[in-house]
Amino acid sequence: MAAFVAVCVFATSSVNSSASADEPEIVLRLPMTTAGPNSLDPVRGSSVYDNQACSYIYESLLEYEYLHRPFKLKPCLLEELPTASEDGKRFRFKLKKGVFFHDDPCFPGGKGRELVADDFFYSLKRMADNKNQPKGWWLLKDTIVGFDEYKKQQNAADSFDYDLPVEGMVKINDHEFEVLLKEPFYRFIYTLAMFQTAVQPREAVEFYGDRFSRHPVGTGPYLLKRWKSGSRMTFVRNPNYRLETYPADPGLNADGSEPYAGYQNDVQLGLYEDAGKPLPLADRVELTMFVESQPMWLKFLNREIAYTTVPSTTYDQAFIKRNRRLRQSFIDQGIRSAPVPLLDMIYNGFNMEDPVYGGYDAKKRYLRQAISLMYDYDEINEAFYAGENLIYDGPIPAGMDGHPENHRAPKNYRGPNLQKAKKLMEKAGYPNGKGLPPLQYYTSRQPQSVAMAELNRRNLKKIGVDMKIESVDFSTLSEMLRSKRATAFGLAWGSDYPDPENNLQLFYGPYKSPMSNNFNYDRTEFNELYEQVRVLPPSEERTKLYIKMRDMIIEDCPMIGSMARTRNYLIHSHLKNFKPVEVFSNWPKYLNVEQP
């Protein structure tokens, strides 16, 4: 078993490159900025890294238009976008025909079978089975008619019955089905583009059992050939992938306007040169993991990977800081830069169930507010992000309804404010920190994360808070959060879809760990407001509720923050079609390499 965990090699006898003997193999050499995914089972995955890796192999009903901004959904496994009833409670779906799972020993004769409606229902039911340790149940909780009742009954039974029907999952035929919602739910359509709702075949889950998380079988454009934990992954073209093509050039509108924001820039960058070509464009993807940024930077400079994000430690090497322009020496090498403002929330959080640093009474709030007032996000921004981050109050990123005007809420606890923090420490019952147990703080082992924690630790010392830093790898940090063992922690949340509900659900009581609410925040008034907004379409009424929820989080202070990053990408000229994006992760199928 230990050898299996270290290196997994998969039989790919039926996998052949599309390149002929006269054509060189097209190989993408790409980075992943972590030790790698925790799992390749979509049901067990939760992190952006799980998403990235799963997106090579699995597909969901919907996906995003690759080049379109703002983000726009399109069919993936469906023939067309789902249709909704007038009351917004009934959605009808039509699967594409001729979509096949990967060839794999789990199927009779090793030949992948066609995708059918039951596969989608089965994949959703896996999210209800507690034995699967589902991280994404929050996406479906209180959504589909009869599903919550099914989950409760089956987890209480001696065995989980996947064949038992769910009232809200209605099969019409093998390629058509309906989903009935308890109430109109604006977010529902977005969840169908998330990797957690990707489709898996029952045969593979049952055949591989506990090994399924490392032996994925999907319908996607690539197959996993090799996985060396913490080091690299190799994906190869799915030879039986259905005909999907690179986006067609939409051209200018009749009035000469752009069909979407940034279209003309995309044309100038040659992003439509492969229009109409079958996907995926590359034969093989070599994905290298980088726990630290400096090795990734050096690999990029040596042209061993096709792109990199720019570490803060090398920002001045790549950019002229006063005007944020790429240095001429990089331009002369054919390197281009692409800044990507993120729907981002960098924050520090508390476990609200902790007996000292959690809780909801006034003294508990004063303690967390005092700590918040000692975090200097301006200093962090300049020291670690070249001053490019956007600092804002609360959990709602810029560009979304409910984001505070000018990024600052009317009442906030943004630091630094030493005198106010000291007064709050006195009101909390810990003058100068007297009698206060140490604050156990967990963060990623990445040097930048540890350095930021050290800066915060020094500032907290000024009010008598003794912060003990525990730097761990990301998988350990995830487990500490799932098991509610981290008193305080530092993380970043990238919005799964462009709606504030995605960020506010992080504080919804029923989603407490091991689901998405790592703060274990559970306040009745907030929960009731969340249950209202989750069913409302965009409106003035919904925005007012978002603001009320935002300000409640700021006052209770389960989190300190936030900051939103602008991620700077540098891209070698031989990599074609790359338009960096972090809202979705299935873009490698569009990438190509210019042959020498």
Q: Are residues 367 and 514 located together in one domain of the fold?
A: yes
Q: Name the domain boundary from 174, 190, 217.
A: 217
Within a domain: 481 = yes
Identify which of 305, 327, 328, 323 has the alpha carbon closest to the alpha carbon of residue 314: 327
Average pLDDT, the chain: 92
Q: Torsions phi, psi of 182, nearest 5?
A: -65, -35
Q: Cα–Cα distance between 235 and 244 in angstroms, integer? A: 18
Identify which of 398, 405, 414 has the alpha carbon closest to the alpha carbon of residue 342: 398
Whether residue 49 is predicted with pLDDT greater than 90 in this model: the reply is no
Q: Are residues 348 and 209 located together in one domain of the fold?
A: no
Range of the domain at 548: 344-564
Within a domain: 569 = no
What are the pLDDT digits (tens) for 192-217? 999 999 999 999 999 999 999 999 99
CB-facing half-sphere around the CA of 469: CA atoms within 13 A = 20
Within a domain: 41 = no
Contacts of 32 (CB under 8 A, 6+ apart): 49, 52, 53, 233, 287, 288, 289, 290
Whether residue 81 is predicted with pLDDT greater than 70 in this model: the reply is yes
What are the pLDDT digits (tens) for 497-527? 888 999 999 999 999 998 889 999 999 999 9
Contacts of range 45-53, beta carbons closer than 8 Å, 24 or more positions apart: 45/135, 45/136, 45/195, 45/196, 46/135, 46/136, 46/196, 46/478, 46/516, 47/474, 47/478, 48/494, 48/582, 48/585, 49/474, 50/195, 51/195, 51/585, 52/585, 53/233, 53/287
Q: Are residues 358 and 209 located together in one domain of the fold?
A: no
What are the pLDDT digits (tens) for 424-452? 999 999 999 999 999 999 998 888 899 99
Q: Torsions phi, psi of 567, nearest 5?
A: -90, 120
What are the pLDDT digits (tens) for 317-341? 999 988 889 999 999 999 999 999 8
Within a domain: 558 = yes
4: exposed, middle or buried (C-beta count within 10 Å: 0-12, 13-18, 19+)? exposed
Q: Are residues 408 and 544 located together in one domain of the fold?
A: yes
Rounded (10°) angle between helices 540-556 and 362-372: 90
Whether residue 4 is predicted with pLDDT greater than 70 in this model: the reply is no
**CATH at residue 90:** 3.90.76.10
pLDDT at position 11 is 43
Q: Are residues 209 and 357 located together in one domain of the fold?
A: no
Whether residue 7 is predicted with pLDDT greater than 80 in this model: the reply is no
Within a domain: 117 = yes
Domain count, the chain: 2
Question: Regarding predicted confidence, which is higher, 490 or 20?
Answer: 490
Within a domain: 23 = no
Within a domain: 499 = yes
pLDDT at position 561 is 87
In this structure, what token pair is assigned to residue 422?
């000291």
Within a domain: 299 = no
Residue 99: Cβ within 10 Å count: 22
Helix, coil or strand: residue 442: strand
pLDDT at position 20 is 53
What are the pLDDT digits (tens) for 227-244? 998 899 999 999 999 999
Q: Cα–Cα distance between 22 and 514 in angstroms, integer? A: 52
Q: Are residues 212 and 353 located together in one domain of the fold?
A: no
Q: Name the domain boundary from 184, 217, 250.
A: 217
Q: Cα–Cα distance between 279 and 76 in angstroms, integer? A: 13
Q: What is the pTM of this model?
A: 0.79
Q: Are residues 201 and 350 located together in one domain of the fold?
A: no
Helix, coil or strand: residue 214: helix
- Kindly indicate the confidence band of residue 21, based on its pLDDT and cuts at 50, 70 and 90: low
What are the pLDDT digits (tens) for 381-435? 988 888 889 999 999 999 889 999 999 999 999 999 999 999 999 999 999 999 9
Q: Name the domain boundary from 197, 217, 237.
A: 217
**CATH at residue 458:** 3.10.105.10
